[in-house]
Structure 1
Amino acid sequence: MGTYEEPTACRTTASWTVRVGGLAGACHPGPVVAVTALMAALALTTGQGAARCALTTAAVVTGQLSVGWCNDAFDARRDIATGRRGKPVVDGTVGVTQVWVAAYAALALCVPLSFGCGLRAGVAHLAGVAAAWAYDLRLKSTVWSWAPYAVGFAALPAFVTLGLPGQPWPAWWLVTAGALLGVGAHLGDVLPDIRGDLATGVRGWPQRLGPDGARLLLPVPLVTASAVLALGPAGPPGRWGVAALAVAGLVAVAGTALGRRRARAAFAAAVAVAVVDVALLLLRGTGIT
């Protein structure tokens, strides 16, 4: 009796399914979804119409996808050499060339979508995307690794406000808080992997600080961002602003203390403070220009 052989069509379908799943995993789906959802919510609360909000969201998601794929494609050689788990390229579910093609395709779509929101809005958004690509390709291993995060996070809310009727510039406190959140996101994102990064020759700003230095510094930009969001706009902060600032401070301090034994605790605290900051930002709504 002969053995059963899977039909070619079934193998092809399975292969494409695996590759699509690999591409989805290689784009860093968590940050892509989080940033896109935040920008969509911000566009809605600031008064962008349905069509413009959809265009803004499409531009943001393609930009984030291009950055995530660029990151995994560029790091593929080092990830494979170190056998880093959880990476689709390392697992063989998708090829490096395919990830590069996806990155450039997403970037090509991002450009017209960004300029579709207006010239100044497009320039602001693409400046942030370019900063993120610069991080992936070069700045990740330098003392300037924090700068692309600061530029990229500051550019996102500017992209939203410049896409509004009249193309208003964002308020100073909005850009400042975005940049601070970016620096905090960089510290929190890198913190759990610092020792592994140092072993593979990645010496960005957090790696140079070391695990303890990065952990102790992590609350500073995040809580400062909370303070800027609560106190920066004209008028009193209100009870919600004061409460959010207090919660952010307590969570950040607790995360720093617990992170001495578990780096993931500090990272979780950073995410919690970022959520508080996002809530503050969305509460401001139309007052961000």
Structure 2
Amino acid sequence: MLRAVATPLALLRACHPEPTVAVTAMVTALAVIAGRDVRGVLLVAGAVLAGQLSIGWLNDALDAGRDTAVARSDKPVVTGAVSVRTVGVAAVVAAVVCVPLSLASGALAGVVHLVAVGAGWAYDLGLKATRWSVLPYVVCFGLLPVFVLLGLPGAPVPWWLPTAGALLGAGAHFANVLPDLDDDAATGVRGLPHRLGAAGSRAAAGLLLLAATVVLAVAAPLPAALAWSVPVLAALVLAAGFRAGRRPGSRAPFRAVLMTAALAVLLLLVASS
């Protein structure tokens, strides 16, 4: 009985639950704000969740050997809580489920979302270890808001929405990789953040996320006071974080990048309402 419960829980931990939930929640909120009806919102949530689950599970299945080599105790596959085969099968099943859920929003919208998910798979399958590692994040995050709007007949897709999404995704890539730079380097993963190093990656993450808030402030239909207060606040947060980060072992820059990401997402959702 305990084994039957433990395996699904371990499988959930293997899908990178924090980013999976965060991305699904953000895109679902965007669907609500954009005016999708209840059915449309549920379809968006289901499609995005299935797509993100497939990306997360594929990543852990393919990285099992590298994670074992560096003794990643936070990985269920490494601890033996779930098998590589189970995680791989789950990735395929989630990808298959994602197809009809995506196409239920319309053929064009569905194809756009499947391209976004395909970008995530391309990252897992090898791009993560190249200088082009940021590209799948740019494509995926740039297309997710397009998927939501294309599901609304006749709804325009303003240029600033996918642009801000792409910048947000690029910044998220650098921020997400920061805690794992040493482990990745030890197992031969040499993506763009690894080539820039920790300091360069923190700076890239902060600047890209700040750029997302500036794009929204300049182009999105927002009150001027709100539009420019967020980039200014983001700049102050980043400056304080990087200053505090001069201390050895400080995680202040990483936390500042995450706070800037939260501000960018908040502004994106407000701008879309």
Say whether the fold is shared (TM-score over 0.5): yes
**Aligned AA for 1:255?**
G
Aligned to 1:251: 237
Alignment of 1:37-116 (within 5 A): 37-116=25-104
TM-score (norm 2): 0.96
**Aligned AA for 2:199?**
D
Which stretch shifts more, 258-267 or 277-286? 258-267
Structure 1 residue 282 and structure 2 residue 250: aligned? no
**Aligned AA for 1:272?**
M
Aligned to 2:184: 197
Which stretch shifts more, 259-268 or 157-166? 259-268
**Aligned AA for 1:276?**
L
**Aligned AA for 1:250?**
L
Aligned to 2:130: 142
Structure 1 residue 131 and structure 2 residue 122: aligned? no
1:114-168 per-position Cα deviation (integer Å, ceiling 9, x unaligned): 00001111111111100000001110000000000000100110111111122x3
Deviation at 1:237, TM superposition (A): 4.5
| CA distance in structure 2 between the aligned counterparts of 1:259 and 1:121, rounded to whole angstroms | 42
Aligned to 1:5: none
Structure 1 residue 264 and structure 2 residue 263: aligned? no
Aligned to 1:8: none
Count of residue pairs the alignment pairs up: 272
Aligned residues with identical type, % of pairs: 49
SS at match of 2:272: helix
| CA distance in structure 1 between the aligned counterparts of 2:46 and 2:150, rounded to whole angstroms | 16
1:220-259 per-position Cα deviation (integer Å, ceiling 9, x unaligned): 101000000111125x752111111111111122222333
| CA distance in structure 1 between the aligned counterparts of 2:89 and 2:251, rounded to whole angstroms | 33
Aligned to 1:3: none
Unaligned runs of at least 5 residues, structure 2: none
Cα–Cα, structure 1 residues 113 and 63, in superposed 2: closer, same or farther, change >3 Å? Answer: same
| CA distance in structure 2 between the aligned counterparts of 1:212 and 1:37, rounded to whole angstroms | 30
| CA distance in structure 1 between the aligned counterparts of 2:251 and 2:13, rounded to whole angstroms | 21
Following superposition, which runs of at least 4 residues in structure 1 exceed 6 angstroms of deviation?
A: none
Larger Rg: 1
| CA distance in structure 2 between the aligned counterparts of 1:88 and 1:263, rounded to whole angstroms | 28
TM-score (norm 1): 0.91
Considering only aligned residues, what root-mean-square deviation do their CA atoms show, in Å? 1.3
| CA distance in structure 1 between the aligned counterparts of 2:211 and 2:16, rounded to whole angstroms | 27
Unaligned runs of at least 5 residues, structure 1: 1-12
Cα–Cα, structure 1 residues 183 and 263, in superposed 2: closer, same or farther, change >3 Å? Answer: farther
| CA distance in structure 1 between the aligned counterparts of 2:251 and 2:136, rounded to whole angstroms | 23
